[in-house]
């Protein structure tokens, strides 16, 4: 078992297609997790991930702030305490529409090597 503060994990650029977004790979293969990755994303005001459609599901929890989650039905507001389930194969995007920090936790399976930076 490992217990540590997520802020001890360095922030990295969240990758291609993002703007104003940083990522922390809190739990992943480097931590000894063979099945899932836990990532924390920090969005500056106006920051966003790209619209993308990975084959695997995402489980997202809004830790702080507010923004929107783009869905096939349009944009939905998200706020602190909200949970978001993104089925595999569904186009999605997260965007900070507030004047403060938007922080989300996103869980994905580890067996998906392509497009794993963005949420």
Confirm if 104 and 69 have CB atoms less than 8 A apart: no
Average pLDDT per consecutive 10 residues, the chain (119 residues; last block may be shorter): 96 95 95 94 98 93 98 96 96 97 95 61
Homologous superfamily in CATH for domain 10-109 = Jelly Rolls (2.60.120.10)
pTM for this model (two decimals): 0.92
Contact 51, 63 (CB under 8 A): no
Whole-number Å distance between alpha carbons of 7 and 43: 15
User: What pLDDT does 106 receive?
Assistant: 97
Q: Is 31 helix (H, G, I), strand (E, B) or coil?
A: helix
Every domain of the chain and the residues it spans: 10-109
């Amino acid at each position: 078992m490992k217990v540590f503060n997520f802020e001890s994990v360095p922030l990295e650029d969240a990758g291609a297609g993002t703007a104003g977004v940083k990522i922390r790979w809190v739990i992943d293969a480097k931590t000894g997790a063979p099945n899932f990755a836990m990532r924390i994303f920090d969005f500056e005001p106006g920051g966003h991930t790209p619209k993308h459609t990975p084959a695997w599901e995402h489980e997202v929890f809004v830790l702080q702030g507010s923004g929107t989650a783009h869905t096939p039905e349009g944009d939905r507001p998200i706020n602190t305490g909200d949970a978001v389930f993104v089925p595999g194969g569904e186009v999605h995007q997260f965007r900070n529409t507030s004047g403060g920090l938007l922080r989300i936790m996103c869980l994905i399976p580890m067996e998906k090597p392509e497009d794993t930076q963005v949420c």
